[in-house]
């Protein structure tokens, strides 16, 4: 059974996942119990980070990250326009100013030459939120060299748990590790690598940042001062800062923890599927994802690029293959336009958007399902060769550049 339609991504839930959740439902704590700290500890080990703070979702992790790194109203923070809106929205939540750094045409990652120019142009900028687009880690060592010690790196690693890049010392720098980044964030949304329904994680280099995030996670309330409790009574607590309810439940934490146990297995499957796509689609006049020896791609998405993207999207949809587009550049959304951003301002992100298509990739995808997707894409080639020229329908990326 093929199990149609085939989504671009979906969660994989095993009997172990279900029993992990059931165990919590039968326990004392539904929220902020032992599963939270167990998840935080395991995640710190997995990402090789110093401190982890589990939160309600990836967006909450971005918000707490930016506040805990000390961003204040009116300050400037740089991020990529080719991302989910949350990467930029968190800057606005803090009352700060979004500066977009256009992307590299091929990888979809922040262009580091443009980043250098922006830093020269905005020396007062506080930090950078780079995005590990599609699962490819940005080189935070290079970003650190460009921005210096006094600005922060908050890595949006939602696409890349388990991914890494190799730094100049030949060390593997895991996504979310705090070797060069001050903090990183992850999402446990259902389509992400670790699927807990909703959920998120902030990894922090310094204890100070982590403590601040922990306080803000629960309304800015602290209950740790023994002297105050002694003076006032056992019930006593104080609200020290204007925080939020960004807590993760133990139900979600147990599910995330159970998934984390087979994270490597799931990445392995993603990589196999990606390799099969690369092998099968290599002779088509479409652009496949860039691969690099120095990057351990986590393959959150498999993004192909072609000129007639909409035709392929519609055709595959008719075949019950539900692709997705990542992303409509953030600055093109009406809200960002109302802030003064203009179409044409970030041409690389815009042309990436015009030509990208995320085809299905998820750990529970069967070989049969993938063959179905591959065959439908290959069939199109013969179909259009007969009708009109397929090559006039789908132009390779190299040629696309020449056409413009
Ligand atoms: C999913 C995602 C987010 C937001 O995560 P939520 O858990 O949905 O809030 C932020 N940035 C990127 C790049 C994402 O893919």
- Span 65-119, pLDDT tens digits: 999 999 999 999 999 999 999 999 999 999 999 999 999 999 999 999 999 999 9
* Local confidence band at 222 (pLDDT 50, 70, 90 cut-offs): confident
The response to whether residue 308 sits with its C-beta less than 6 Å from ligand 1 reads no
Q: What is the dihedral of CA 317, 312, 349, 271, to 10 degrees?
A: 80
What distance in angstroms lies between residue 199's CA and the mean position of ligand 1's atoms?
10
Please count the helices (runs of H) and the strands (runs of E) in the chain: 16, 14
Looking at domain 15-260, does it have CATH number 3.30.70.2860? no
308 pLDDT tier (thresholds 50, 70, 90):
confident
Residue 58: CB within 6 Å of ligand 1? yes
Asked if pLDDT for residue 124 goes beyond 60, the answer is: yes
Task: For ligand 1, say whether the CB of 57 is within 6 Å of any of its atoms.
Answer: yes
CA pair distance 311, 314, nearest whole angstrom: 5
* Burial class of residue 4 (count of CB atoms within 10 Å of its CB; 0-12, 13-18, 19+): exposed
Measured over the CA atoms of residue 263, residue 267, residue 272 and residue 277, the dihedral's sign is positive
Report how far ligand 1's centroid is from the alpha carbon of 186 (Å).
7
Q: Is the CB of 187 under 6 A from ligand 1?
A: yes
Average pLDDT of the chain?
93
Cα(83) to ligand 1 centroid in Å equals 9
Beta strands in 210-340 (DSSP E): 221-222, 238-239, 295-296, 302-305
Check pocket membership of 84 for ligand 1, CB cut-off 6 A. yes
Terminal alpha carbon distance of the chain? 44
Residue 52 sits at φ, ψ, to 5 deg, of -120, 140
Closest CA to 69 of 245, 216, 277: 216
- Indicate which residue's Cα is closest to atom 7 of ligand 1: 58
* Residue 159 CB less than 6 A away from ligand 1: yes
**Ligand 1 mean position, distance from CA 296 (Å):** 20
Closest Cα to atom 15, ligand 1: which residue? 158
Higher pLDDT, 395 or 340: 340
pLDDT tens profile 249-298: 999 999 999 999 999 999 999 999 999 999 999 888 789 999 899 999 99
Which residue in this structure is represented by tokens 């329904």? Answer: 197
- How many other CB atoms are found less than 10 A from the CB of residue 192? 21
Neighbours of 397 (CB within 10 A): 18
382: pLDDT confidence band, cut at 50, 70 and 90?
low
Q: Region 311-333: what's the mean pLDDT?
A: 95
Give the distance (Å) from ligand 1 centre to CA of residue 330.
13
Task: Output the pLDDT for position 389.
Answer: 45
Residue 350 has pLDDT above 90, yes or no: yes
Distance 42 CA to ligand 1 centre (A): 21
Q: Where are the domains of the chain?
A: 15-260, 263-403
> By alpha-carbon position, which residue is closest to atom 5 of ligand 1?
58
Asked whether the CA dihedral 52, 157, 256, 253 is positive or negative, the reply is positive
Q: Which of 54, 58, 79 to mutate to test the pocket of ligand 1 (most atoms within 8 A of CB)?
A: 58
- Determine which residue's CA is closest to atom 6 belonging to ligand 1: 58
When pLDDT is averaged across residues 180-191 and rounded to a whole number, the result is 97
Q: Which atom of ligand 1 is nearest to the CA of 131?
A: 13
59 CB near ligand 1 (under 6 Å):
yes
For range 32-57, the mean pLDDT: 97
- C-alpha distances in Å from residue 339, one per residue of 184, 334, 336: 27, 9, 5
Quick one: average pLDDT of 220-232? Answer: 84
Cα 146 off chain centre by: 22
Q: Is 6 helix (H, G, I), strand (E, B) or coil?
A: strand
Tokens at 284, concatenated: 């088509």
> If you classify domain 263-403 with CATH, what class do you get?
alpha beta
Looking at the predicted structure, is the pLDDT value of residue 390 above 80?
Answer: no
CA distance 132 to 139: 9
């Amino acid at each position: 059974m093929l199990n149609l339609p085939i989504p671009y991504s979906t969660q994989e839930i095993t009997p172990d996942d279900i029993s992990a959740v059931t165990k919590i439902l039968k326990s004392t704590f539904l929220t902020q119990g032992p599963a939270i700290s167990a998840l935080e500890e395991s995640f710190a080990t997995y990402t090789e980070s110093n401190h982890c703070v589990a939160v309600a979702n990836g967006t909450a992790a971005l918000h707490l990250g930016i506040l805990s790194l000390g961003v204040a109203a009116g300050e400037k923070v740089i991020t990529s326009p080719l991302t989910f809106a949350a990467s930029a929205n968190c800057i606005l939540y803090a009352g700060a100013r979004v500066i977009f750094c256009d992307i590299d045409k091929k990888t979809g990652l922040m262009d580091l030459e443009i980043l250098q120019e922006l830093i020269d142009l905005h020396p007062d900028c506080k930090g950078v939120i780079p995005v590990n687009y599609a699962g490819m880690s940005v080189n935070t060592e290079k970003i650190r060299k460009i921005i210096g010690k006094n600005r922060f790196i908050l890595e949006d690693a939602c696409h890349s748990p388990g991914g890494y890049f190799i730094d100049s010392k030949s060390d593997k720098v895991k996504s979310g590790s705090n070797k060069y980044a001050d903090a990183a964030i992850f999402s446990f949304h259902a389509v992400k690598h670790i699927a807990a329904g909703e959920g998120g994680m902030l990894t922090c280099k310094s204890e100070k940042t982590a403590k601040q995030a922990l306080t803000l996670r629960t309304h800015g309330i602290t209950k740790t001062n023994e002297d105050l409790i002694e003076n006032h009574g056992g019930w006593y607590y104080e609200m020290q800062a204007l925080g939020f309810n960004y807590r993760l439940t133990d139900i979600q934490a147990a599910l995330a923890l159970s998934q984390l146990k087979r994270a490597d297995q799931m990445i392995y499957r993603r990589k196999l599927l990606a390799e099969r796509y690369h092998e099968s689609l290599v002779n088509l006049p479409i652009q496949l994802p860039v691969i690099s020896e120095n990057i351990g791609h986590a393959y959150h998405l498999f993004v192909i690029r072609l000129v007639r993207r909409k035709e392929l999207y519609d055709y595959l949809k008719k075949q019950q293959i539900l692709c997705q587009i990542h992303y409509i550049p953030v600055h093109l959304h009406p809200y960002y336009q109302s802030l003064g951003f203009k179409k044409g301002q970030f041409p690389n992100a815009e042309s990436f958007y015009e030509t990208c298509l995320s085809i299905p990739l998820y750990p529970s995808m069967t070989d049969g399902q993938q063959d179905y997707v591959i065959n439908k894409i290959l069939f199109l080639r013969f179909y259009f060769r007969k009708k009109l020229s397929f090559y006039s329908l789908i132009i390779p990326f190299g040629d696309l550049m020449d056409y413009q």
